[in-house]
Amino acid sequence: MKIDLKAPAKINLSLDALYKREDGYHEVEMVMTTIDLADRLELELISSDEIILDVRAHFIPNDHRNLVYQAALLLKEKYNVRMGARITLDKQIPVSAGLAGGSTDAAAALKGLNELWKLGLSLEELAELSARIGSDIAFCLYGGTAFATGRGEVIQKLPMMPSCWIILAKPSISISTPSVYKELKLDEVEHPDTKRMLAGIEAGDLDAICDSMGNVLESVTLEKNPKVKQLKQKMLEFGADAAMMSGSGPTVFAIVKQYSRAKRVYNGLRGFCSEVYMVRPWNDEGINK
């Protein structure tokens, strides 16, 4: 038996951190949406009782350092599974980019293994389990557009993102999420208007969504990395309706309504950055269910 799954990347339409909690995490309010830039996973039952991870990309570990491996092991141990699996991971999403690439792979692995090993777990059960290995995996399990609270693992589904073009630019800089959160000065940042963002999504109003985008982590990553700031400015100069950094960065994205203008932003950015993508929101929410 073989299962093929797509694992889409996400962008943050807003990211607010409210306060630092006693467990060291930040209490957050995030509006996120999946985009049609996706990794592909193939899962296959094997005769031996082990997890074999085969990664089709350079410099990505295939052992316990990979969230896919951790997810498979977690499911196997928790439900005492006496079967194995070979998981082939074909990476398309940039790594350490603020696009939840590792988390979406782990989410797809949980869904696929639930089916392969016939565990019959609900999405809610998988989401609860996933929080043990990462805050963003729960969102990736649901996909579409959602409001994430808690440390990011409490998910409330929202209506689909209105149709638009999304241009992503990933500078070749490595960002450590824990250090960005560590340097965040909550009393100095401008907090996004999350209520307005939620109302914009509910109304399917792209102008309101563009106007209420905000990410508190920009205050750290943009200030320390002028290249990221420059890419955001260029997006706006080339005609983006809105531009912002996703997650802790370094990827920045532009939202553009019109195709011709989106093409202009895409072509213009390619002169400044080697990794540029033009995608759409991922609204096919049924694909991995």
- The catalytic residues are 10, 136
The letter for the amino acid at 235 is M
Beta bridge mates, 4? 42
CB of 85 to ligand C5P, least distance (A): 23
Annotated ligand binding at 271? The verdict is no
Are the beta carbons of 253 and 244 closer than 8 angstroms? yes
| SS3 at position 226 | helix
d(CA 58, CA 259) in angstroms, rounded, equals 33
d(CA 179, CA 160) in angstroms, rounded, equals 32
CB of 139 to ligand C5P, least distance (A): 11
Query: Candidates 20-28, 166-174, 238-246, 276-284 — which segment interacts with ligand C5P by CB under 6 A?
Result: 20-28
Task: Tell me which of 3, 5, 9, 28 binds ligand C5P, using CB under 6 A.
Answer: 28
Are the beta carbons of 57 and 91 closer than 8 angstroms? yes
Task: Tell me which of 66, 135, 145, 251 binds ligand C5P, using CB under 6 A.
Answer: 135
Q: Of 71-90, which residues contact ligand C5P (CB under 6 A)?
A: none
Task: Tell me which of 1, 82, 178, 286 binds ligand C5P, using CB under 6 A.
Answer: 178
**Contacts with ligand C5P, 143-172, as mask; x by CB under 6 A:** --------xx--------------------
CB of 96 to ligand C5P, least distance (A): 11
CA dihedral 73, 79, 82, 88 (to 10 degrees): -40
136 sits near ligand C5P (criterion: CB under 6 A): yes
Closest CA relative to residue 145, chosen from 205, 93, 201, 203? 201
DSSP state of 139: H
Query: Residue numbers of the site for ligand C5P (CB under 6 A)?
Result: 25-26, 28, 134-136, 151-152, 177-178, 181
